[in-house]
């Protein structure tokens, strides 16, 4: 594993080894670019992928953190660039940077993190983005439907992994959508756009970009797992609008956690990077990850009819347990 012990990601606790491959289908906004994780058998000579595979991502992280690329990007490259992810149960940040190949020239082009243009209202800018992201979730599901049915899906990236091996291996009757921050509200919106998504898990969702007219249209249950230091009364009120319409929608808060506690950053950042990203709360990050994982698994078993024993953590869905409370501690008396 790259990096020092203090910068190590936790090992996975699931029953399977996990492989991953990058997939790109199409070269326009209607295409897809994603990393696919899948259960696998160990193979001699297999390599761990880098958590940050390209230096350009360090520049995007610096932009997202409102830091100078001149010093922050090299710092990130040195401190967490060599790290390798070894857990399928760790969660990734919801910020907006990715790479793109131009259709016309067939060349690689990097799209920088996009801030709200001067003079434009943030809601309309972010609302357009969240709809694009939710539509990408829908297209990803359709991609898996095509793969499962045996349809040939060409991967532009020409990875060694042949997507056709997944034929008849994906249970499309038990599909959930999950995301962190901007990805959390994306997951909520994806329920509106695609009936095949049976439920959503929203990690510290940033509810701001979702228009009010859509709240009555969210048809499926959502589990909101919030951190203590990020949410506002306005955001919690939006979540409660959904829980008031669906008794299976749950809202819990993990005490002692911050917004980045539900991402890999909480394990990858030393003292200096922690000051830059505010990546650690007072709760032990391993304990926070366990609470998040167990609550999500209990919720998924309940709504996907999984034949597991994750229901032993059902109490977490009611906000019952060490370091967990229902809703949000600063909102219960205000709303």
Say which residues have a Cβ less than 8 Å from residue 237's Cβ, sequence separation at least 6. Answer: 331, 335
Among candidate residues 204, 235, 264, 293, the one labeled active-site is 204
- Rounded to the nearest angstrom, the gap between the alpha carbon of residue 19 and the centroid of all alpha carbons in its chain is 18
Among candidate residues 90, 181, 257, 261, the one labeled active-site is 181
Q: Distance between CA atoms of 324 and 288, rounded to whole angstroms?
A: 10
Q: Distance between CA atoms of 260 and 61, rounded to whole angstroms?
A: 13
Q: At what angle do helices 55-64 and 69-79 cross, to 10 degrees?
A: 120
Residue 204 among the catalytic residues: yes
Q: Which two tokens stand for residue 88?
A: 């399928």
Among candidate residues 87, 259, 264, 303, the one labeled active-site is 259
Residue 100 among the catalytic residues: no
Question: Annotated active-site positions, please?
Answer: 181, 204, 259
């Amino acid at each position: 594993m790259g990096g020092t012990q203090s910068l190590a990601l936790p090992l996975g606790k699931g029953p399977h080894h996990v492989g991953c491959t990058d997939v790109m289908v199409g070269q326009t906004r209607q295409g897809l670019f994603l990393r696919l994780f899948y259960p696998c058998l160990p193979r001699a000579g297999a390599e761990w992928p880098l958590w940050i595979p390209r230096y350009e991502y360090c520049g995007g992280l610096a932009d997202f953190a409102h830091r100078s690329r001149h010093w922050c990007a090299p710092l990130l490259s040195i401190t967490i660039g060599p790290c390798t992810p070894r857990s399928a149960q760790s969660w990734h940040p919801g910020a907006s940077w990715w790479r793109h190949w131009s259709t016309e020239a067939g060349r690689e082009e990097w799209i920088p993190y996009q801030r709200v243009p001067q003079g434009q209202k943030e809601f309309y800018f972010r609302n357009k983005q969240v709809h694009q992201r939710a539509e990408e979730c829908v297209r990803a599901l359709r991609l898996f439907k095509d793969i499962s049915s045996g349809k040939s899906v060409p991967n532009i990236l020409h990875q060694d992994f042949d997507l056709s091996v997944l034929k008849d291996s994906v249970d499309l009757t038990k599909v959930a959508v999950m995301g962190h921050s901007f990805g959390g509200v994306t997951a909520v919106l994806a329920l509106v756009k695609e009936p095949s998504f049976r439920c959503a898990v929203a990690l510290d969702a940033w509810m701001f970009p979702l228009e009010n007219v859509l709240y009555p249209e969210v048809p499926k249950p959502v589990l909101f797992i919030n951190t203590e230091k990020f949410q506002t009364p306005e955001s919690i009120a939006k979540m409660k609008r959904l829980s008031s319409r669906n008794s299976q929608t749950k809202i819990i808060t993990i005490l002692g956690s911050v917004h980045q506690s539900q991402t890999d950053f909480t394990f990858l950042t030393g003292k200096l990077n922690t000051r830059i990203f505010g990546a650690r709360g007072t709760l032990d990050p391993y304990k926070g990850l366990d609470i998040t994982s167990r609550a999500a698994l209990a919720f998924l078993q309940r709504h996907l009819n999984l034949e597991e024993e994750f229901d032993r953590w059902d109490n977490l869905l009611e906000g019952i347990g060490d370091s967990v409370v229902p809703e949000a501690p600063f909102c219960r008396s205000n709303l």
